[in-house]
Amino acid sequence: MSWFGRLKEGLSRSAGALSQGLAGVFGSAAVDTATLQDLEELLISSDLGVQASARIAAKLGEKRWGPTVPPNEARTALAAAIAAILQPAERPLDVTTAKPFVVLMVGVNGTGKTTTIGKLASRLRGEGKSVLLVAGDTFRAAAIEQLKAWGERAGAPVLAREAGADAAGLAFDALTQAKTQGTDVVLIDTAGRLQNKANLMAELAKIVRVLKKVDPAAPHAVLLVLDATTGQNARAQVAAFKELVQVSGLVMAKLDGTARGGMLVALAEEFGLPIHFVGVGERVDDLQTFSARAFARALVGLES
Partner 1 sequence: MMFETLSTRLGTVFDKLRGRGALTEADVDAALREVRVALLEADVALPIVKDFVAHVRTKAVGQDVIKSVSPGQLVIKIVYDELVATLGAETATLNFNAEPPVPILMVGLQGSGKTTTTAKLGARLEKQDKRKVLMASLDVYRPAAQEQLRILGEQTGVAVLPVIEGQQPVDIAKRAMNAAKLRGMDVVLLDTAGRLSIDEAMMREAAAIRDAVRPTEVLLVADALTGQDAVNTAKIFKERLGITGIVLTRIDGDARGGAALSMRQATGAPIKLIGTGEKMDALEPFHPDRIAGRILGMGDVVSLVEKAKDVIDQEEAAKLEAKVMAGGFDMNDLLSQLRQMRKMGGMEGLLSMLPGVGQMKAAMAANRVDDKMISRQEAIILSMTQEERRKVAILNARRRQRIAAGSGTTVADVNKLLKQHRTMADMFKKVGKLGKKGMARMLAGMGGGGLGGGGGLPPGFGR
Backbone angles phi, psi at 86, to 5 degrees: -80, -20
Of 74-82, 89-97, 103-111, 177-185, the segment contacting partner 1 by CB under 8 A is: 103-111
Rounded Cα distance between 18 and 4, Å, is: 19
The distance of closest approach from Cβ of residue 177 to partner 1 in the complex, given in angstroms and rounded to an integer, is 23
Nearer to partner 1, 47 or 184 (CB): 47
**Does residue 41 bind partner 1 (CB under 8 A)?**
yes
Rounded Cα distance between 148 and 135, Å, is: 8
Q: Residue from 23, 80, 84, 149 that binds partner 1 (CB under 8 A)?
A: 149
User: What contacts 258, CB < 8 A, 6 or more positions away?
Assistant: 13, 14, 17
**Does residue 116 bind partner 1 (CB under 8 A)?**
no
**Does residue 109 bind partner 1 (CB under 8 A)?**
yes
Q: Residue from 6, 9, 13, 76 that binds partner 1 (CB under 8 A)?
A: 13
Rounded Cα distance between 252 and 254, Å, is: 7
Residue 294 host element (H or E): helix 292-299
Rounded Cα distance between 7 and 15, Å, is: 11
Q: Residue from 55, 75, 125, 260 that binds partner 1 (CB under 8 A)?
A: 260
The distance of closest approach from Cβ of residue 180 to partner 1 in the complex, given in angstroms and rounded to an integer, is 29
For residues 146 and 114, the answer to whether their CB atoms sit within 8 Å is yes
| Axis-axis angle for helices 71-86, 50-62 (nearest 10) | 120
Q: Residue from 4, 6, 27, 45 that binds partner 1 (CB under 8 A)?
A: 45
Q: Residue from 110, 166, 169, 179 that binds partner 1 (CB under 8 A)?
A: 110
**Does residue 190 bind partner 1 (CB under 8 A)?**
no
**Does residue 232 bind partner 1 (CB under 8 A)?**
yes
Q: What is the CA radius of gyration of the chain?
A: 21
**Does residue 231 bind partner 1 (CB under 8 A)?**
yes
Of 24-32, 71-79, 214-222, 226-234, the segment contacting partner 1 by CB under 8 A is: 226-234
**Does residue 233 bind partner 1 (CB under 8 A)?**
yes
The distance of closest approach from Cβ of residue 230 to partner 1 in the complex, given in angstroms and rounded to an integer, is 5
Rounded Cα distance between 191 and 105, Å, is: 9
Rounded Cα distance between 145 and 63, Å, is: 54
Name the nearest CA neighbour of 11 among 298, 304, 231, 300.
298
**Does residue 198 bind partner 1 (CB under 8 A)?**
yes
Q: Residue from 35, 46, 183, 288 that binds partner 1 (CB under 8 A)?
A: 46
**Does residue 256 bind partner 1 (CB under 8 A)?**
yes
Report residue 263 CA to chain centroid gap: 11
**Does residue 163 bind partner 1 (CB under 8 A)?**
yes
Kindly state the DSSP code that residue 54 receives in the 8-state scheme: H
Which residues are at the interface with partner 1 (CB under 8 A)?
A: 13, 17, 41, 44-47, 49-50, 108-112, 139-143, 145-146, 148-150, 163, 194-198, 227-236, 239, 254, 256-260, 263, 282
